Structure 1
């Protein structure tokens, strides 16, 4: 009961946060600016949506294949269809409740395949770590190629976090953050060791052990080249689809790959902040366009919602389709196998 209540509260919080960002995006837009947004979208190269959706779909398929590679050292060999379906359904759930989709995709895959949910958690951790590294690389590349545009903004926005009133590094703040992380880690270790006999703590401990098995599996990956290939392919497709989205609007087409790189970096943060990036993604993209000298209330807003809509559309449509086909496909496969 408490877990259900916590899930509901978490869902309401992130949805409220998403709508807050939506409000922040549109609150200052005047009627004349709404007309400008409509005109910009009406003059957009609409045919670009087809390759954008195709690239996004291919990136999700590549992610499913990469997940299969991670499962192989654990002795799991699920079908490609079930893995791809689980990935898309997980994305669909994540659009409503952040992080819950990761649990759901492991659970539904375990329902029809000979896999263990607790062992799959480790593979999810590996995926997140690898994607975080890729996102950091994207940010570094964006700073290298577009530092003159976003460098000062990032420094002004985030660079003062560890600074004191004089603008110098506050070692007290740095020490405080390190101390808090250390205390949390020690407290968690003590609780797991001292109260491991309690059912709830034992479950958490088993999950952590499962994560350990999964993390260890990265060392045992048989097809490291294929894993690297799919990782590069996924993020290349993200970049290409984002750049194509910029090309769709005539006002942002000139930004090219460099603009696509910064938009991918900033937009990815928005996708993390709220369920499916609702509100946050368009807002951050609009603010980014302001750094390029474009009106954030018109062109920036139009671009942000256009890119977000394309990503959300592929997740909703494919998520619903795979949800409908998942059970039917596996029941059909079982009938064939039992003949």
Structure 2
């Protein structure tokens, strides 16, 4: 039974990824995708890798500012936080959202900070990203107006199509099953927390300390500057693949357009699919085809290239981080699951 509980979320995530990937690529000519990739201007890969690594270092430095603002004032070495971010990305490709726990556990194990406190800083850091993404989407809405509405309508249409393909009886059965699962989780949590109210309160206090590190750093301009630089890196990482595939010239796409593609793709990355597989592809293809009238095949080629480049980049450096620390992915995942269990 415990093994089944751990498998169900993974299977649901894989199913979501498969459906969205099919929706993203169904109108594309896969042979044409292969030809476009073969003819790409691959010299742009070098700056892409450089900017990708820089984005991780900037994120790690910003995260370190929050960790050092915890009440215990632990030291957050940039090498440790950078390695932890890479390891977190690597774990995310195998188990969605467990990467955040993995990088938290890695820092807590190698520093004087508590797990719950560091986890609070991760949430605080993600709040910064949510605000930045919201501002980016707001800028897209102001710039592209009604065209953005067509993207959201495409998302809604895809959801309605999926819902309509499910038989009514199966839909009610699914809702009943979901209700049973939710009730089971509530009962399980109450049993797990029974008799441990003091320990739970202590964990929540530590988590709160991490969350409010946003206002305790005393370095608001450093947080703001690092966040701006981080998202500037993401815009460049969206722009460079356009140049690799020649889409900048063919469709007149510039940095601002790359930022819009990045923002919509960021919404896809937020969905619980393994490393954004399928969800990122679908969101990005919709942004390219509906906002900029890019044909289905080059849009799919771009989505595949950006996602694959990110997977290779982050996984390669994640493995290097594991080797540097003298550990393995299996150990990191086990440590993350153990740390998250309480």
Task: Give the TM-score category using the shorter length.
Answer: 0.7 to 0.9
SS at match of 1:222: coil
- 1:7 positional shift: 3.0
TM, length-normalised to structure 2 = 0.78
TM, length-normalised to structure 1 = 0.79
Q: Is the 8 A contact 2:67 2:121 kept in 1?
A: yes
Name stretches of at least 5 consecutive residues in structure 1 with no aligned partner: 162-183, 329-339
- 1:217 positional shift: 2.1
Report the count of equivalent residues.
Answer: 293
Partner residue of 2:126? 128
Q: Is the 8 A contact 1:89 1:319 kept in 2?
A: yes
Partner residue of 1:232? 228
Q: Is the 8 A contact 1:82 1:326 kept in 2?
A: no
Distance 1:156 1:251 in 2: 23
Name stretches of at least 5 consecutive residues in structure 2 with no aligned partner: 160-181, 328-342
CA deviations 1:142-192 (Å, max 9, x no partner) are 112222532343367569x9xxxxxxxxxxxxxxxxxxxxxx9xxx9xx99
Distance 1:135 1:267 in 2: 10
Distance 2:147 2:231 in 1: 22
1:221 aligns with 2:217: yes
- 1:323 positional shift: 0.8
CA deviations 1:268-301 (Å, max 9, x no partner) are 12212212111221222122222122222x1111
Q: For the aligned residues, what is the CA RMSD?
A: 2.6
- 1:20 positional shift: 2.2
Partner residue of 2:261? 263
- 1:208 positional shift: 2.5
Q: Is the 8 A contact 1:121 1:210 kept in 2?
A: no
Distance 1:157 1:99 in 2: 22
Q: Is the 8 A contact 2:37 2:301 kept in 1?
A: yes
Partner residue of 2:339? none
- 1:197 positional shift: 5.0
Distance 2:266 2:13 in 1: 16
1:272 aligns with 2:270: yes
Partner residue of 2:30? 34
Q: Is the 8 A contact 1:243 1:260 kept in 2?
A: yes
CA deviations 1:68-123 (Å, max 9, x no partner) are 10011211113211111111101111112122111111112222211110111110
Larger radius of gyration: 1
Distance 2:77 2:59 in 1: 14
SS at match of 1:95: helix
